[in-house]
Structure 1
Amino acid sequence: MTDLVLRDDKDGLAVLTLNRPDKLNSLTVGLFKQLRQHISDIRRDDTVGCVILRGAGKCFSAGHDLNDISEGEEVPSRGWHSETLRMMEKLPKPVIAAVHSHCYTGALEVALAADFIVAADNAKFGDTHAKWALTPIWGMSQRLPRRVGIATAKKLMFTCETILADEALRIGLAEQVFPVADFEAETEALARRMLENSAFSHAANKRLLEATDSNPLDAGLQWEVMENEGTGPDMQDRINAFVKK
């Protein structure tokens, strides 16, 4: 079977690579099945502390494979793509979407399910559902406005316009932009900085942010106090190491 999603582990970092470079990594059911399996495996793998999701070849992904759609793709169940992305979103470890060049529509829905997006300076983003008389079913209508605000999300969805990396950074779609020549190294360096910190805290913080997203402030503060997960098993070792410096 062709490896449509590659996994490469190194010192706590798992790099998942969408691997249909001859088709600009366009997204098929077969690719999603392999992505879903990797997500399930990583959830159970305590040696992985951070994940980078990237694309092979010329771009991150040009989006949902329109040939798959036109030929009547066989989806395992209703909402299965969305469920797969939700599984990735809820991984108890940081997930970075590393976007270079094209990232359109379904590909943007995939990237938005990561904890945040970093972009190469040649990245291009867009939502073209309306161009093809489609509506989102993988999460665009929920994640995009949470990331950039509802008015900006409407503008992007209604116009189907393509925005470049600097604009994605300005509106909060991307968190950081790196020169394309240094993109892989800079993204890995960012992931390594996260790996230096407590995996316990990363998992607890993700659950806290998830549980209180969009809650009124007082309700969120109360949740933080009452549902706080306390201290991690590595707390004392980390403090002792700092004190001894």
Structure 2
Amino acid sequence: MTELVLRKDFDGWTQLTLNRPDKLNSLNVELFGELRTHVEALAGDAASRCVVLRGAGKCFSAGHDLGDLAEGEAVPSPGWHSETLRMLERLPKPVIAAVHGHCYTGALEMALACDFIVAADNARFGDTHAKWSLTPIWGMSQRLPRRVGLATAKRLMFTADMIDANQAVRIGLAEYAVPLADFDSEVEALVARIIANASFSHAANKRLLERTEGLSLDAGLQAEVWEGEGFGPDMQDRIAAFTKRS
């Protein structure tokens, strides 16, 4: 039986690949179940210090499998998809959505649950819930305005417009765009820069950023001082290695 989410481990990082290329990686319950299993395993895997989520074949994902939706999905519990994406979001390590081609609606909700998005120059993004008389239940209404601002989120949700990679970068949806021919090498170089830094800091900073999002500046500064996690077990070794080189 074909795996719907492939895991491939590299030196210090993991790639998860949505693997329904014949269906443009459309998202069904079975795929989400496999993603959830991988996320659960990665949560306790200290050897994997960064995760890249991407799609096989022509695109990241065309979104929720509308055929499955129309037939009525057998979801394990209410909010199960949203809960799965929250688990992905809360992994104690950086998670990058590497998006090429289509990234629509449910796929965009999945990408938004990653720490940030890097786009190939052929990427296209959109929220089409309104096109099908649907409302989001996987996180779009919460994560999209936090990423791009309320008015821009409303515009994208109300119009169901598709935007290209450059527009996505301009509004802050994606961090930057890369020519498709250079996409794999750029993602690998980005990961190398991330995993060269301390896993302790990445995990602690993710927790701090989440705890303080939406707080006033003064409250956030207090949390940084009193709730920050200090220094990691490899601090002395890292400083010693640097001073020996200097």
TM-score band (shorter)? over 0.9
Counterpart-to-counterpart distance in 1, 2:241 and 2:32 = 42
Per the alignment, residue 10 of structure 1 pairs with 10
Q: Write the letter of the residue equivalent to 1:103.
A: C
Per the alignment, residue 71 of structure 2 pairs with 71
Flag as ranges the 4+ runs of structure 1 deviating above 4 A.
Answer: none
Counterpart-to-counterpart distance in 2, 1:34 and 1:190 = 26
Per the alignment, residue 30 of structure 2 pairs with 30
Counterpart-to-counterpart distance in 2, 1:72 and 1:142 = 25
Counterpart-to-counterpart distance in 2, 1:160 and 1:228 = 40
Q: Write the letter of the residue equivalent to 1:38.
A: H
**1:2 is paired with a residue of what secondary structure?**
coil
Per the alignment, residue 171 of structure 1 pairs with 171
**1:244 is paired with a residue of what secondary structure?**
helix
Greater shift in the superposed pair: 179-188 or 29-38? 179-188
Counterpart-to-counterpart distance in 1, 2:241 and 2:52 = 29
Deviations 1:185-230 (A, max 9, x none): 1011101100000000000000000000011110000111111101
TM-score normalised to the size of structure 2? 0.99
Counterpart-to-counterpart distance in 2, 1:19 and 1:184 = 17
Deviations 1:107-145 (A, max 9, x none): 000000000000000000000000000000000000000
Q: Write the letter of the residue equivalent to 1:59.
A: C
Q: Write the letter of the residue equivalent to 1:6.
A: L
TM-aligned CA deviation for residue 51 of structure 1: 0.2
TM-aligned CA deviation for residue 22 of structure 1: 0.1
Counterpart-to-counterpart distance in 1, 2:228 and 2:195 = 22
CA RMSD in angstroms comes to: 0.5
Matches of residues 107-146 of structure 1 in structure 2 within 5 Å?
107-146=107-146
TM-score normalised to the size of structure 1? 0.99
Counterpart-to-counterpart distance in 2, 1:46 and 1:225 = 27
TM-aligned CA deviation for residue 54 of structure 1: 0.2
Q: Write the letter of the residue equivalent to 1:117.
A: I
Per the alignment, residue 91 of structure 2 pairs with 91
Per the alignment, residue 244 of structure 1 pairs with 244
TM-aligned CA deviation for residue 53 of structure 1: 0.1
Counterpart-to-counterpart distance in 1, 2:205 and 2:228 = 9
**2:76 is paired with a residue of what secondary structure?**
coil
Q: Between Structure 1 and Structure 2, how many residues are aligned?
A: 245
Counterpart-to-counterpart distance in 1, 2:74 and 2:162 = 29
**Percent sequence identity over aligned pairs:** 72
TM-aligned CA deviation for residue 44 of structure 1: 1.0
Unaligned ranges ≥5, structure 1: none
TM-aligned CA deviation for residue 2 of structure 1: 2.2
Per the alignment, residue 48 of structure 2 pairs with 48
Counterpart-to-counterpart distance in 1, 2:182 and 2:30 = 31
Per the alignment, residue 151 of structure 1 pairs with 151
